[in-house]
Amino acid sequence: GAFARLLKMALLEERIPAGGVFIDSDNLSDLDKLFDCVAHRTETLVVISSREVLLRPWCLGEVTTAHMHKVRTFPVYLPDFVPPDDAFVQGIEEKVDLRPLTENGIEAKDYDLALRSFRDIAHLSLPASLDRQVLAWASVKIVQGKTGVCMANEVPQVVYKLDAAKAATMVLVDSDNLEAMSAALIFLKLLVPVLAANLKLMPVLF
């Protein structure tokens, strides 16, 4: 989704070490390579934990693969995420098409243990509303490996000089819609190099 793409951009701006940032949806056509990448080429698996993330076979497979190979896992809880309880774990075979996992050698005991472990992993919790400050806070926390809940007094207060009253273009966006806000922030990031010579033309969010 747009938030994953935006978070990747923000992490790269934090000067992630060699190896970069990989988004699983960029390589969904080959699950064999995807799981192998998690197992052998990933230092930290950042799990953007939305309500249905663990119901998606490839996401569940990645979380399980990380657990099996002791890859550091860093959950980022979105507001609608509910950690998997015993009922969820016990009923996973009825909720998820597990064929992509079993075809890659992942057994029931593997994802059972991974799910039970996942709910106990220290995580980062994001608020319902996303803005530049929250994004900056989250990306720094991820790079530093620090978990916790996003509190107002922890978020850097960045003052932007763009005056909405004088802006030539305004971008109207629902700030409580994570994907919409993410798409808007990506749009602005992509415009920066284009309008670098005249930042007065930069749109502002409203």
The pLDDT tens digits of the residues spanning 118-138 come to 999 999 999 888 888 899 889
Q: Which two tokens stand for residue 135?
A: 């994004």
Q: Which of 22-31, 36-45, 131-140 has the lowest mean pLDDT?
A: 22-31
Is the pLDDT at 9 greater than 50? The verdict is yes
Contact of 62 with 94, CB cutoff 8 Å: no
Contact of 65 with 100, CB cutoff 8 Å: no
The pLDDT tens digits of the residues spanning 41-61 come to 899 999 999 999 999 999 999
Q: What is the pTM of this model?
A: 0.84
Q: Given the structure tokens 């698996």, which residue do they identify? A: 45
Alpha helices in the chain (DSSP H): 2-13, 31-40, 57-68, 86-90, 92-95, 99-102, 108-118, 132-144, 178-194
Average the pLDDT over 150-178 and give the result.
65
